[in-house]
Amino acid sequence: MPYDISSLPTTSVTFHPTTATVVRDINISIKPGLNEIIVDGIDPLVNLESIRLEGSGPATITDTQTELVPRDSEADEEEEEEEEEEEEEEEEDRETETIPLPLQEARQSLRTRQAALAHAQDNQAAATASLRFLDQYGLGMKAAEVETAQLATFIEFYHDQRAAEHVRHAQAGEEITDLEREIAQLARTVQKEEHAWERSQKAASRLAQREGLQRRRQIEQRAHQRRRERDERRRFRPHAVYRLTILLDCQVESEDDADNDTEREAALRLSYMVPRAGWRAQYDLNINTPTSSAKLVYRAEYHNGTSETWRDAKVILSSSQAVFSGLDERIPTLKPWRIRLASEDEKAGLWEGGMKSREEQSAQPHPLFGKPAALQAPFRPASGAFAQPATQASSPFGSQAIAAGGRAKSLFGSAQAPAPAPAPATGLFGAPVQGYAQAQAPAQAPAQAQAPAPAPDPAPGLFGAPAPAQDSPFGSTQPAPEIPLDSLRTEHGLTTTYNLGMRTLPPSSISRRHILSQLTLPSLSLRRVVVPKLRRAAMIEARLQNSATALLRAKTGITLDSTFLGNREMPPCAPNEYFTLSLGVDPTVQVSYTGPTLERGTATAGFFKEKEESARFTRVCTVRNTSSEPLSRLLVLEQIPVPTDKDVKVTLLDPLTVDCGEEREEEEEESTGERAGQIKWTTQLLPGEEKKFTLRYEIRSTGRVVLCS
């Protein structure tokens, strides 16, 4: 008993991030004994281990077999022939639409009269030919060969036939005269209508012409749409499909039942998992700084890239396989600056490790053939407001983040591969977001703030910002149709599902969008973060509190005060927890940086004490608020070296007191801590106000070279 997969009703389709689980119902009639059910047309990339069968009725599933077979193309050819016939009918309609109806009727009447005239002329010619035939026959008769009785009969027949043909000839002549008159009148009518049509075309308004053109374009667009859909279906048609053979044993209780061929009803439920289908989350974050509020629109983008069409199926989105990983660009983080004494075989300058940390050295631009670093990159004007170069970012968690429990398993036990890592995110105002574990090369610090040295141009994005180059697993990046919010959210432990209702999903390279929820975030605070030794810029950091909905890692479009600024990756966040987003560089805050400067100290020695060398280092950061609004919170981060050798001592000299409302915080963590030696200032800046933050520290050693460890 064969079934095609396209004819089976689709009960439900559950989308996971990279796969989809399809459930179909099969209502069958079976007879006593062994029954064979064949299901053709299953997607060739189906996960064979995921195929599951459940049944109800008077039968037992004894065996199932799967094999790859060539696809039957007869149904496709019939469908294409029907579409071609529809296109031909529309083409004829398009041709007739251009001719006015009165002219069409006049031409049709003229053709009818011309056909009638031809028929009348034929009748007249036939009557003439009949008379000529009788005359020739009579002239050919010989008196010696024809009896008198036969001659009388022929003459009588000749008179009767000639009278009949005369009437026929006369009637045809009258009909010809009438038809010629009507034809002449119709010809004048057709000519008149044609002239009127020509005049109406010439005198037609532009609006009427535009409407006619629009009509023709609509017909052409419909034809083009049908051709595009047909080509799209051909694109997803495989050359081979899987065939599922199901063997059912319908048991009988007695021999009488075995002899009875009465069919019995049974039901099968077929479920399987297919790739090239899935969904992903998308967010739109709208931040309003005057009211310190934020709204989040939670969207789902799903697609069917298989060879199957799921008609009237219950569509469900599931986060059970949501394994998201990737890199995120974040604000620079000061790692511990550890120094030690150099060994005997190491060559380096004195106090080298006290001048700059390894991260700071790697962030500095290196001259090329003796040229200053600022001249290495060619001049490149900003392609948008506040444009900044992009840098590579590191993961906000130090490594690729995965969902709780590691790699998520599929519904039928097969593991899902993690989603592809996203590209570096771009910050707001066209500036990239700096990563914690990677520094950016700063330029030489003049009296005023400078932007960092230009990086190679990535692909241009909105407002001059580099656009993230991301390979979308969803195929085409064309705008997807937006579906209104009507989903039902359900939570099952760590899994959240969204029921989108009934949908028909044909295979397509275009994804669909659905609004899952619109959230108002309860808390929002903004601050500027300055890490001058790694970047001469003030970066905006937003701290937001999540609502009661768990957020997945996803691309987020950020709008700041009604201005769309770009996209970036949002980290995953549990309900009611806080998360931070770097919004790029604030161009209204100028940052300049001077340092480090070296001041050699005097050598000291004691009777039982080894000779010591000392040096003092000074770094000065100047921050100025050029905007007309006060900055309620400004965070400046610096650091001093952390010695790992007992013969090296580091002493913080400045700041010693709290000035201008600044609060100095020196981390007291262990030397192995991530923030050992970090100095933090938290302050406020009024409009036009400028503040300096001075860091001075002293390093003492036994005279050997101090290196970064």
How far is residue 695's CA from residue 693's CA, in Å, rounded to a whole number? 7
pLDDT value of residue 8: 92
Residue range 197-207, pLDDT digits in tens = 888 777 766 66
Q: What are phi and psi of 239, to 5 degrees?
A: -80, -25
For residues 136-155, average pLDDT: 75
What are residue 282's phi and psi, to 5 degrees? -140, 140
- Give the whole-angstrom CA distance, residue 483 versus residue 480: 9
- Whether residue 61 has pLDDT greater than 70: yes
Residue 11, pLDDT score? 95
Q: Provide the pLDDT for residue 530.
A: 96
pLDDT in tens, 292-302: 899 999 999 99
Task: Over range 225-229, report the average pLDDT.
Answer: 84
Band (pLDDT 50/70/90 cuts) for residue 536 is: very high
CA distance 371 to 8: 72
Q: Is the pLDDT of residue 170 over 60?
A: yes
Of 3-12, 324-333, 351-360, give the lowest mean pLDDT range.
324-333
pLDDT of residue 320: 73
| Residue spans of alpha helices (H) in 205-357 | 206-236, 255-259, 352-355
Buried b (16+ CB within 10 A) or exposed e, 541-563: bbebebbebbbbbbbbbbbbeee
Q: What is the pLDDT of residue 105?
A: 87
Mean pLDDT, residues 173-192: 90
Is the pLDDT at 665 greater than 70? The verdict is no
Convert the pLDDT of each residue in 416-454 to its tens digit. Answer: 333 333 433 333 333 333 333 333 333 333 333 333 333
The DSSP symbol for 18 reads: S
Region for 672 from its dihedrals, namely left if φ exceeds 0, alpha if ψ lies in -120 to 50, beta otherwise: alpha
User: What pLDDT sits at residue 338?
Assistant: 78
Q: What is the pLDDT of residues 249-274, one digit of tens each?
A: 987 666 655 556 678 889 999 999 99
Among 102-106, 156-160, 389-393, 678-682, name the most confident range.
Answer: 678-682
Structure tokens at 266: 């049974």
